[in-house]
Structure 1
């Protein structure tokens, strides 16, 4: 949960690097909160995709994009590689591979190695 909160504290920070754990913990908690929101929407309105799910998606879009860009920075790629997802099938697979790849050890052009420092709240 601390990595999810860290990503929220860095709401629109697109510079720097994010380690795999920070990225995947954000994805996990985003997924879990989306399920809870969908259940709440269904319980309140009888329809999936209601107001709660929509508000959650809007609120977490920018932090999700920011942590994704920082994750790409950790493997030495530009944040613009996020757009690779628009290439049908291959783009999503390539982005998944990059998200799972271990980051560049030591400092790279995007900053210091996030594994070398403690969590900064």
Structure 2
């Protein structure tokens, strides 16, 4: 399977290795970009991370959907993944509200 098929197609299957490698890459990229932007451009950090998340939402859903398919589930099971995706979008918005503490410190 080619990289564009892997990242942008909802057809096919994804092995456990592919799924976990993608998730490791996904979260390392988000953490790295967020750290770099926060250190280099502190005034625009609340705008850059949501853009990165929007760019990565289709590949994330495609690989997750392929993994669900590999487990014998239909793409309808992606509905279970939507709260995670929405939470990722809400974290930069919550931190942009002027709160200097991480979101999990306010629970």
Please say whether Structure 1 and Structure 2 have the same fold, judged by a TM-score greater than 0.5.
yes
TM-score (ref. length: structure 1): 0.58
Query: Is 2:12 aligned against 1:16?
Result: yes
Q: How does 1:55-94 map to 2 (within 5 A)?
A: 55-85=51-81
Displacement of 1:51 in angstroms is: 3.3
Counterparts in 2 of 1:34 and 1:86: CA distance versus 1, 3 Å = closer
What is the aligned length?
Answer: 81
Counterparts in 2 of 1:36 and 1:86: CA distance versus 1, 3 Å = closer
CA RMSD across the alignment = 2.3
TM-score (ref. length: structure 2): 0.65
* Unmatched 5+ stretches in structure 1: 88-121
Query: Is 2:30 aligned against 1:34?
Result: yes
Secondary structure of the equivalent of 2:54?
Answer: helix
Secondary structure of the equivalent of 2:34?
Answer: helix
* Unmatched 5+ stretches in structure 2: 84-107
